[in-house]
Chain A
Amino acid sequence: MKCPLTEHIRPGEAPLALEAYEKKGGYSAARKAVGKMAPEQITSMVTDSHLRGRGGAGFPTGQKWSFVPMEKEVHRRKYLVVNADEMEPATFKDRLLLEGNPHQLIEGILLSAYAVQADIAYIFLRRAYVTAAQRLAQAIAEAYDSSYLGSNILGSGFNLELHLHSSAGRYICGEETALLNALEGRRATPRSKPPFPPVVGLWGKPTVTNNVETICNIPHIVNHGADWFRRLSRTPNGGTKIYGVSGRVKRPGAWELPMGTTIREIFEERAGGMQEGYRFRGLLPGGGSTDFLIKEHLDVQMDFDTVQKAGSRMGTGTMVILDDHTCPVGLVLNLIRFFAQESCGWCTPCREGLSWMARILSAIEAGQGESADLEKLQRHTGLLGMGNTYCAHAPGAMEPLQSALKYFKEDFNRHIQEKRCPWR
């Protein structure tokens, strides 16, 4: 089985320094492409590879790049931003790539920036990833020293400045346009779209924003080609995927597997299934803002299209398992509190709605709920849904709630009838 993203990552050990990375074939894609291939050629390779954004939304990467204006006569400054603000609850996949192989990311940045002809790139890193910050800073310095960054890279005439921006901690910064506002030094509220960032982004300039895992795939696509990349996957969504499992399983962790590996293989074979004394009840397949799936979905293949057909989203691909010792109402309350706290406050349904829903859920969990509360919650999953808010924050928050109301309705009812949480 091929694991291009994690092949040179040894958890617990220091990452490869530049020279060691080069010895393993690192920066060969950069040498092959920068100044030698036409930028558009790289974009079309990425389009043909069927690489889709690994931050959670799954937008086709090549298509995103193709929106960037490429006319040479009016050269404007352009930006590439790497979204390393990994803060989705239960997600820990980008940490692995950032700490484990920073040069792979830098090579991906160089190739991606060259493809869209960006002059300046930022890595937008969450504040809490201190080790990643140190390792990235060191790798960036090494890359400048070896002419993989700076001016006239590898004698190609292409210039790229790369800056590490360490944020100050706020979930909404992971939203593409909120991230751009944060980089500009403003409150990280989302922007209205259109215009879309590839045309009007950071300081009004064309800006491509991609997730860490997305960018790390680029050197491998350039090295081995689009066909090779598509064949890594078991489904039409190309490549491998870093999946993770957390909760009461025997071996929580993250693994790079072919895209389209089933939930059962990840949960039972990799994570070893449930710990002794715990039974499986459901899972959130890709972070806190994805719908619950249950036992009947265990054979669903984890890719963007298949999980969507099953009624959820693959999201970040890092799943959290609900066990029979954990109260589903309490779990949803934990998530809704998180989303209420992290709402940027810009639009009313999200700012007001999430707090009220947290109060209702908190009352139910405390045994003070009424049967009308369930209808209220149900109605609000629509009122806070897509189309009624400025960005996907509140609609994302509604996903675990609406699916919990569907699959764990009986548990909600028991809280209300027995006037207590049956798990306490």
Chain B
Amino acid sequence: MLTRKEIAEIETEFSRYEQKQAVGVEALKIVQRHRGWVSDETLQATAEFLDMTPDELDGVATFYNHIFRKPVGRHVILICDSVTCWIMGYEDMIQHLRKRLEIDFGETTPDGRFTLLPHVCLGCCDHAPAMMIDDDLYQDLDLEKIDRILGAYE
């Protein structure tokens, strides 16, 4: 079941598109914002609300990198692994993150604080290496800077 708030937010999107189904991606982002991720039940409820089959909407959900179909931690680390960051020290950064958080890609720390994911070019190659945590962008990374940044997230 979608909450009233979720429904209200999804409904404001309808007027922006010619067809209801076009709201799919935005609807998934809305429910994910409220619930952290998109479970099978949430997907089904959202699909029903948009007059789509669950498979149809899942085809959309699984297509995109920012829709999470598995539970994630309170914060999601997206580390850029594209060409410039790779040249500028990505491998040292990711080794450090793995060691510090004791998790690999796609995993969440036991305390539920961080999920670690690789990410395509973040579009700030003049300040590589870079990563995002939730909506915050961090550039010109080095190992000490990563430690400081992680410390700011609960």
Contact = CB atoms under 8 A, between A and B. Distances in A.
Interface of A: 77, 86-92, 94-95, 126-131, 163, 165-171, 182-188, 202-203, 244-248, 252-254, 284, 288, 318, 320, 322-323, 326, 330-331, 334-335, 338, 341-342, 344
Nearest to B65: A169
A247 B88 contact: yes
Interface string B136-148: 0100000000000
Interface in B40-66: 59-60, 63-66
Contacts of B66: 127, 168-169
A288 B87 CA distance: 13
Contacts of B128: 246, 252
Contacts of A165: 16, 26
A334 B124 contact: no
Interface string B1-40: 0000000000000001111011111101100000000000
Contacts of A202: 18
B120 A87 contact: yes
Interface in B66-101: 66-67, 78, 81-84, 86-88
A250 to B, nearest CB: 12
Contacts of B67: 168
B86 A331 contact: yes
Interface of B: 16-19, 21-26, 28-29, 59-60, 63-67, 78, 81-84, 86-88, 119-128, 132, 135, 137
B22 A335 contact: no
A72 B126 CA distance: 47
Nearest to B27: A185
A183 B16 CA distance: 11
A130 B120 contact: no
| Nearest 10 CB-CB pairings of A with B | A168-B64, A246-B125, A169-B65, A252-B126, A185-B22, A185-B24, A169-B66, A89-B82, A246-B84, A185-B21
Contacts, number: 134
A26 B132 CA distance: 33
A344 B63 CA distance: 8
Contact of B84 (A90, A166, A171): A90
A188 B59 CA distance: 10
B60 A186 contact: yes
A87 B83 CA distance: 12
A170 B121 CA distance: 11
B125 A90 contact: yes
A168 B25 contact: yes
Contacts of A248: 87-88
Contact of B63 (A166, A188, A326, A331): A188
Given A88-B121, A94-B123, 20 more contacts: A87-B121, A130-B135, A183-B22, A184-B17, A185-B23, A185-B60, A202-B18, A203-B19, A244-B126, A245-B126, A246-B84, A247-B84, A248-B87, A248-B88, A252-B125, A322-B87, A338-B83, A338-B121, A341-B120, A344-B63
B13 to A, nearest CB: 9
Residue of B18, B59, B123 with most partner-chain A CB within 10 A: B123
Contacts of A203: 18-19
A318 B125 contact: yes
A131 B137 CA distance: 9
B123 to A, nearest CB: 5
Given A185-B23, A246-B128, A169 B64 contact: yes
A184 B19 contact: yes
Contacts of B84: 89-90, 246-247, 320
Nearest to B128: A246
A247 B120 contact: no
B66 to A, nearest CB: 4
Residue of A166, A171, A185, A246 with most partner-chain B CB within 10 A: A185
20 contacts: A89-B83, A89-B84, A90-B83, A95-B124, A127-B66, A166-B29, A169-B64, A169-B120, A170-B65, A184-B21, A185-B17, A185-B19, A187-B59, A187-B63, A202-B18, A247-B87, A252-B128, A284-B83, A331-B83, A331-B87
